[in-house]
Each structure stands twice: as structure tokens, then as C-alpha cells.
Structure 1
Amino acid sequence: MNASQLRYVVRFRGQVQGVGFRANALSQSIGLRVRGFVRNRGDGSVELDVVGSEPDLRELLKRIEESMKGNIDDREIETLPAEERADEFRIRYS
């Protein structure tokens, strides 16, 4: 694994379930070198758990926030050391 890789775990809150948020996140990841998943949480939030370079991770968050700005009330970001992931970004169904 590349040492410059990071892991972001992001929790989005607001009107983020039932509005195509996960599909949008998947679409926004196109062209970026990121791996991980996005999933709905039982508390009504959406969790993004993704590994990539810091510029790609920041770009993904920017794209998601711009495209879903009317739905996001709050977000929390946890930055962690990268871990091995499949070579894809996908929707995880609970």
C-alpha cells in the first residue's frame, strides 16, 4: 500500500437517506482513485468509509457536498491510517 494513502470515515447527517445520496456518492467518485464504500446507518445518517490520496479524498468530499448541499446538515470526518481495500468504491447495503 502507498504510504501517502489515508482513510476518511465521514458521517453525513440531514435529509441523506431516500434521496439518492449513496448513488450520488458513487457517481461523484468516478475519475478518482478511491476505494471503500458508502452505506446508510440505522440512525438516519450516511457513512462514507474511503481510502485514497488526500487530494482525491478532499475532491470526493467537495463533489458530494456540492451536489447534495441542500440535504446535508452536518458532517463529521475522522482521518485514519489507510487499510487494505478492494480496488473499487461501492455502495454497501446493510
Structure 2
Amino acid sequence: MSTHKQIRKVVRYRGHVQGVGFRANAIHQGRGLTIQGFVRNEPDGDVLMDVQGPQEDVLELLKRVANSMERKINDAFIDDRAPLPDREKFSIHP
């Protein structure tokens, strides 16, 4: 039986993650999933992804991004946060 528990993860990816299509890939990997939040480049060269939705969908996105960008990611730091109300669909933030 699947659960519809809502979770939120904030992930900071380190490595060669800017200028390689990381954000566009994250959006692509999120297609078909019920998720909200954003992915953006950080001034220090990291990429920050803040995503929430049903537990299965959020965890699936993290798995898809890790698998598709594994050669570019050196580290991924994941924080659990409380879900926020009224978030927009998953998109790239400037």
C-alpha cells in the first residue's frame, strides 16, 4: 500500500554541477511526478534543489537526479524540512 505522506527535501549538490544542464535535467527527471519547489544555481558553484510532494515522488526524483548526474555530483547534502503551503510547480529559479 502506498503512502501519500508529504515530505520536503532541500538538497545541496556539489561537484561539476553548473554549466552542465543540471537544472534542466532535474526538471526533466521530475516529469510525471507530483512535486513542487525549485532548483537553482548558487553563487558558490553548488546547485540547490528544494522539493516537496508525496514521499514516493520526492524520493524518486532524488534517485533519478542522482542516477542521471552521478558523474557530475561529488557530494549531495540532504536536509529534511517541513512542507510549505501553496508552493508552485517544480521549476528553475534564477
Offset of 1:90 from its aligned partner?
0.3
Offset of 1:23 from its aligned partner?
0.2
State how 1:1-94 maps to structure 2 within 5 Å. 4-84=5-85, 85-86=87-88, 88-93=89-94
Offset of 1:4 from its aligned partner?
2.0
**One-letter identity of the residue aligned with 2:17:** V
Instruction: Please give the secondary structure, in 2, of the residue aligned with 1:47.
Output: strand
Identity of aligned residues (%): 50
State the aligned residue count: 90
Cα distance between partner residues in 1 of 2:54 and 2:23: 21
Find runs of 4+ consecutive structure 1 residues off by over 4 angstroms.
Answer: none
**One-letter identity of the residue aligned with 2:69:** M
Q: What stretches of structure 1 of length at least 5 have no aligned partner?
A: none
Backbone CA RMSD of aligned residues = 1.0
